[in-house]
Amino acid sequence: MRIDLTAERGVTEAVAQRRNENSAINRLQPEDRAVHDWYRFVLSFPPHLVRDYLARFGVDERGCVLDPFCGTGTVLVEAKKLGIPSIGIERAPMAQLASRVKVDWTPEPAALVGHATCVADAAVALLAREGNANASLRRLPPDTESLLLAGSISPLPLHKTLVLLQCLAEQRDERWDGHERLALAKALVTSLGNLHFGPEVGVGPAKPDAPVIETWLQNVRSMAQDLEAVRGRRDVPAAVRLADSRSLHGVLTPRSITAVITSPPYPNEKDYTRTTRLESVLLGFVRSKAELRALKRDLVRSNTRGVYKDDNDDRWIATQPQIERLVATIEARRIELGKTSGFERLYARVTSLYFGGMARHLAELRPFLMPGARLAYVVGDQASYFRVQIRTGQLLGEIAWSLGYELVDIDLFRTRLATATRAQLREEVVVLRWPGTAGR
């Protein structure tokens, strides 16, 4: 069934037009920086969007909010600030660490800073003993180094980081370990490394040196200040599971979720594991190509670098003619343009796997939703595959309807320029309701 929400879009587009007059719509506002700013994806959706939908759904402390693609924890942190219990699911271990730490407000601020100061003193002393001569600089093992984007961190900042990691390991305390490692992860991507972030992660000019210890310690001190500010909410329940959002049995309690707010991957050829590769490797979450492949297998397929021969999520959308038409259009465009590279040949397949993975997720989610549960999925239209328009929100809404969800609305959140075509693409919030039936 084709679903037309043109009339309903009119009101929300008018609201979004006013929002888009502010070019900073997706930026973190100063008043929201506490905890959110500990570590954040550059393209994360803003906390105010979470607040809007929590209010619209009428969620309070008696409910439980789920983010099944929780990333760095924007939904969970905002829910905790509002006193609302929450659960996050995230398969990427670096992002899962970020979410887990950002909802752990139990450390005593002064004790955290005290321990970090001792670690910093030990690292400074060790650096002084080892010196900065090129011949003595520490390096990663070759197999591990090959996982990084070439030039993503310069030799001297890498050396200092490895010394700091040794001191953190030698003085490891479970009470502070997660916060201290997350402070280092933030330092790596914001100050110490050579990365730059736009639509894609890339390598910018090299930094021959960087204040590794000082930057890390300042990040810990900022965490401590935030912990003081949120002390009154530290006992609000929040949990983060390291799991695949397409396989939820044993992860969640049946009929326990009153609302879902999330932003899953988009079908846009973006390899999300590259975004956190530097910190994932240096913190030991990914140590080999085999571990990287294992991680990618547990993610919704959204790019051709994560497609494997035995993938079969497309079976979940075998009865969806609108997806079949889209996939056929992409393949026909490939043939018309004479594109024959290995990645280009996979564009049609990754599109079917993406929507199949999302269908599988939505089907798996149903037993864990309370009757009347409300859901908001932030997704974006795409044109990455031969400039064929992929109406992600529209298609996701139709898939959800076929699985027994009520499609309430598709709200326009913002518009953005396509990287290749400079055309305006929609970013939308697909609003669903679970009535509590098994399906249509």
For the chain, the domains span 6-105+233-268+303-434, 109-229
CATH among 3.40.640.10, 3.30.360.10, 3.30.1490.190, 3.40.50.150 for 6-105+233-268+303-434: 3.40.50.150
The pLDDT score that the predictor gives to residue 199 is 67
Task: Using a cut of 0.75, tell me whether the model's pTM lies above it.
Answer: yes
DSSP string, 154-203: -HHHHHHHHHHHHHHHHT--TTTHHHHHHHHHHHIIIIIS-EEESSSEEE
Ranges of residues in the chain whose predicted pLDDT is under 50: 2-3, 6-11, 14-23, 438-440
CA separation for the pair 404, 389 (Å, rounded)? 26
How confident is the model at residue 15, as a pLDDT? 41
Distance, in Å, from the CA atom of 236 to the CA atom of 227, rounded to the nearest integer, reads 14
Other beta carbons less than 10 A from residue 404's beta carbon: 16
The pair of structure tokens assigned to 278 is 């530097």
* pLDDT at position 421: 62
What gap in Å lies between CA 105 and CA 109, rounded to an integer?
A: 9
pLDDT for 48: 93
57-69 burial by CB neighbour count: b if 16+ within 10 A, else e?
Answer: bebeeebbbbbbb
For 413-428, how does the pLDDT look when each residue is reduced to its tens digit (9 = 90+)? 888 776 656 678 889 9
The bridge status of strand 406-417 relative to strand 195-197 is: unpaired
Q: Which two tokens stand for residue 95?
A: 């992002």
Q: Are 292 and 148 in contact (CB under 8 A)?
A: no
> Both tokens of residue 210?
């960087």
Separation CA 143–CA 43 (nearest Å): 30
What is the 8-class DSSP label of residue 45? P
Per-residue pLDDT of 254-264, as tens digits, reads 999 999 999 99
Per-residue confidence (pLDDT) for residue 162, from 0 to 100: 97
User: Of all helices (H) and strands (E), which one includes residue 330?
Assistant: helix 321-337
